[in-house]
Structure 1
Amino acid sequence: MNFETAGWRREALQGEVVADVLTARRRRRNVIIGLVVAVAALALAAFFMLGRGEEKAAAPAGKSAAAGPRRGGGAMPRVTVVVPGRQQVARTISATGTLAARVDMPVGVAGEGGMVTQVLVQPGQWVGAGQTLAVIERSVQAQQAQQLGAQIDVARADARLAQQELERAQSLVGRGFVSKADVERRIATRDAANARVRLAQAQLSETRARIGRLDIRAPQAGLVLQRNVEPGQVVSSGSGALFRLARGGEMELRAQLAESDLAITRVGAPASVTPVGSPTSYQGRVWQVAPVIDPQSRQGTARIAVPYSADIRPGGFASATLQVGATDAPLLPQSAVQSDQVGSYVYVVNPQNEVVRRDVEVGSVTSGGVVIKNGLSGQERIVLSAGAFLNPGQKVIPARAPAR
């Protein structure tokens, strides 16, 4: 009897636990459903509130759009147009090329050469005309000069003796002790001695000149670009250029131009040269236009002289803008010119206020805008900006802006 009562109690307790678990699960489910409903209600409230705000903000715009004509059920966009006209625009040519010395002077051995004992300059230094760049050992030549100097002294002594003997003979001719033929022989002896003096002097001058040519000197004032010799090196006339100088430090840009551009480029045309990596542009002028065209590349060279600057290094790369005159053409802001795979174009608003595509040929780009070489007369109404959002044939409401 007691065992049955205990079993019944255990079954009752287990039933109560299961009921409590089910009740807890129902309560949790109800809480989650309540939270979801609350979030949805808040989202709907926010949506309606934002929708009313947008309707209020769009009401004035809608009224103004309703006041204008409509096409296809939508409001026509307002666009700003400009009538560019025609104006004198500087005609420019863009080119690239290599920087170089305007006059590149290679300096080598002018004399017989020898071993270099001193090198007196470094690349980047300025030198004057005739300044010594390097010295070659000259001990042998110095000894030869001393020998020739001694020979001159001997020849002068012989000449003095011959002159004295001639004078004594001339004083004895009147007394009959010396014949006239003997006097003539002494005159010849004196003249030969004087000739030997002059010969020895010429030989000494030649030797001194050769010694002077052992010094490697700058032919003109300029900037040292390269040094290809070191002390101890043996050089000769076949050693090539030991130094390279830029005469007066003058530099140039050898700009490569297309055949058509070279035809309109003239000597004296101003140009702006910008070395690669330099933020500064240097003003120069065309001083030579190539008389020939490369048959392979169909290009020619325009040589632009520029003043010396540390940024202008021979062998470097630079770009140039040449001014080759002026042209009468429309000038548009860059925002008005569009481009695609076909080419450059602008949008023109016709008398019916419809957008029309007009293909154009673009010229140079200046600080004032883009030069239109072909395609426009200058009297059209050109869409100033936002052309990428328009379609050909679309009606618009144009608002004219002053030409730039």
Structure 2
Amino acid sequence: MVKESVSELKVEEPVAFEDANWQKKSVYRKRHSWLIPLLVGTGLGGIIAFGGMRLSSHSVSEKTTLAEKKTVQKVAPTMSVTVTPVETTRVARTLSTKGTVAARDLTPVLPQANGLQIKKILVNIGEIVKAGQVMAVLDDSVLQDQIRQAKADVEAKQADVASKQADLASKQAVVVSTRATVVSNQAIVQQKQADFAQAQAKLRDAQINFRRTQELTSQGAISQQQLDTATTNLATATEAVSLAQANIKSAQANVSSAQANIGSAEANVKIAQANINSAQASVKSSTAKMEQLKTQLGQTLLRAPVSGVVAEKLARVGDVTGIAPQTQIATVVGGTQKLFSIIQDGKLELQAQVPEIQLTQVKIGSKVQVTSDVDNRVKLQGRVRDIEPMINQEKREATVKIDLPQTTLLKPGMFARAAISTVTTIGLAVPQKAVLPQSDGSAIVFILSGVDTVRAQKVELGEILVGGRVEIKSGLQQGNASRVRVVVDGAGYVKDGDTVRVVNTQ
């Protein structure tokens, strides 16, 4: 038995003592080989003597060791962490697309007066302007000369009107005088008619006297001389009647002539009035032309039609309005050269392209998260304002117009991405800091198991939520989500099964 034990020890010793001091111990055994049998015997005796004790105390020793290990683990955790409960929240599903930033209302600034040279430009691209603000000044020297000529023309025509008004007054006076003549001649006619009546009465007396005298003369009662006198008186009375009739006709002729003169005078008055009207119309025309020139003079100050941001500056000092340079043929709007364009009120929109098959998911008023691949500062919330009715026949896409908040990070022509909210569901969310991406593309979170142990749990991520949170689509059970706590601060420094100290629960 002893020899077999010794041989066993000799075979196993090189294996059992492979450490840094193995060579020193081997030399020691060679020098003191005579002690081996003694040590073996003593060892066997010790084994026999204490075998019972070892058997009786083996179970107690194991329990003590396990308790000590647990005590050591509790006393010395790996690190301190903070945890937070898994949150049940409403998650908005989104439709991802991209598009081009454009001005919602791009207002052209056109010159109101053509043929004038641009003298000054007072704004630049990107500047904010107010409605009515002067953007450019045009040369007004030509207009000033035209205004002076128009003013002189107005004054000359006003003098002509005054002259024609004086002529009208003269002709109106002739009408008044002629009417007075008519009245006077009518009175003369009446007087002549009275004279005629008196002459007829005298003629009747003379005729009666002549017949009586003639009868008496034939009877011899009176002399022939008296008959001659009666004959003379009759002839005189007859002549007086004829003269009175002639005077009446003459007076009536004068009345007719005066009345004819009234018609002529009144016709002259109408002509004079027409001349005045023509002259006054000419004055009004010249005055209107002068006022138009004054208006154009005011238009030499090119003002902003709306408030907003200057998007384009096509005008140059020295250019003539209404004559677009060869390089700006495309900037002619409605036959007039465009000098500037303004993004009204600085409002921008994202014109996103949505495939026809997904168009039914997009609703007017839906919220949209807008980001940029080239600028991580762009994190804006927009809203769907309109969906164009026409679909691109080649790409089978529709343009969705998304209102953007005012920002200096985006400019017309830039590309941006849009996540359009489609439906809202109930889901689970954790802080983004609690999620640890893995090399294989997956992600894990550490769940607090019990009081102080963490357990790695593989999860599938969903939507990025507000407040630095992310949706957990799978990996966590929704029913008991509120009782599950995940590690937030310190999640990147622990591993599965680590013991931790929870210093704060968020």
Matched with 2:499 is none
Deviations 1:313-360 (A, max 9, x none): 3333334444344124566888899999999999xxxxxxxxxxx998
Matched with 1:41 is 21
Q: In the aligned structure 2, how far is the partner of 1:212 from the partner of 1:159?
A: 30
Q: Do 1:331 and 1:368's aligned partners in 2 also have CA atoms closer than 8 Å?
A: no
Deviation at 1:60, TM superposition (A): 4.1
Q: In the aligned structure 1, how far is the partner of 2:288 from the partner of 2:277?
A: 17
Q: Do 2:384 and 2:400's aligned partners in 1 also have CA atoms closer than 8 Å?
A: no
CA separation of 1:312 and 1:191: change in aligned 2, threshold 3 A: same
Deviations 1:130-163 (A, max 9, x none): 3322222232232222111111111111111211
1:241-252 → structure 2 map (5 Å cutoff):
241-252=338-349
Matched with 2:101 is 99
Q: In the aligned structure 2, how far is the partner of 1:221 from the partner of 1:112?
A: 24
Matched with 1:80 is none
Deviation at 1:97, TM superposition (A): 3.0
Give the SS at the match of 1:203: helix
Q: In the alignment, which of 385, 403, 407 is matched to residue 287 of structure 1?
A: 385
Q: In the aligned structure 2, how far is the partner of 1:191 from the partner of 1:230?
A: 48
Deviations 1:218-277 (A, max 9, x none): 221221122222212334254523212111122222333344554222222233434542
Higher deviation after alignment, 211-220 or 185-194:
211-220
Matched with 2:149 is 147
Q: Do 2:382 and 2:402's aligned partners in 1 also have CA atoms closer than 8 Å?
A: no
Q: In the aligned structure 2, how far is the partner of 1:231 from the partner of 1:85?
A: 63
CA separation of 1:174 and 1:209: change in aligned 2, threshold 3 A: same
Matched with 1:232 is 318
Q: In the aligned structure 1, how far is the partner of 2:89 from the partner of 2:122?
A: 59
CA separation of 1:40 and 1:85: change in aligned 2, threshold 3 A: closer
Unaligned runs of 5+ in 2: 1-16, 26-61, 71-85, 179-260, 326-330, 332-337, 446-457, 497-505
> Letter of the aligned partner of 1:41 in structure 2?
N
Matched with 1:201 is 287
Q: In the aligned structure 2, how far is the partner of 1:273 from the partner of 1:360?
A: 24
Which is helix-richer, 1 or 2? 2
Q: In the aligned structure 1, how far is the partner of 2:387 from the partner of 2:142?
A: 51
Number of residue pairs aligned between Structure 1 and Structure 2: 323
CA separation of 1:298 and 1:310: change in aligned 2, threshold 3 A: closer
Matched with 1:253 is 350
The answer to whether 1:327 aligns with 2:413 is: no
> Letter of the aligned partner of 2:405 in structure 1?
V
CA separation of 1:343 and 1:280: change in aligned 2, threshold 3 A: closer
Give the SS at the match of 1:318: strand
Q: In the aligned structure 1, how far is the partner of 2:299 from the partner of 2:164?
A: 37
Q: In the alignment, which of 173, 176, 193 is matched to residue 174 of structure 1?
A: 176
Q: In the aligned structure 1, how far is the partner of 2:360 from the partner of 2:303?
A: 42
Q: In the alignment, which of 383, 404, 410 is matched to residue 305 of structure 1?
A: 404
Q: In the aligned structure 2, how far is the partner of 1:379 from the partner of 1:85?
A: 11
Deviation at 1:118, TM superposition (A): 0.8
What is the percentage of aligned positions where both structures have the same residue?
Answer: 28
Deviations 1:47-82 (A, max 9, x none): xxxxxxxxx9xx749x99xxxxxxxxxxxxxxxxxx
> Letter of the aligned partner of 1:270 in structure 2?
K
Q: In the aligned structure 2, how far is the partner of 1:221 from the partner of 1:361?
A: 45
Which is strand-richer, 1 or 2? 1
Deviation at 1:117, TM superposition (A): 1.1
Deviations 1:78-121 (A, max 9, x none): xxxxxx99864233344433333221122233432332211111
Tell me which of the two structures has the higher relative contact order, counting C-alpha pairs closer than 8 angstroms and 6 or more residues apart.
Answer: 2
Q: TM-score, normalised by structure 1?
A: 0.61
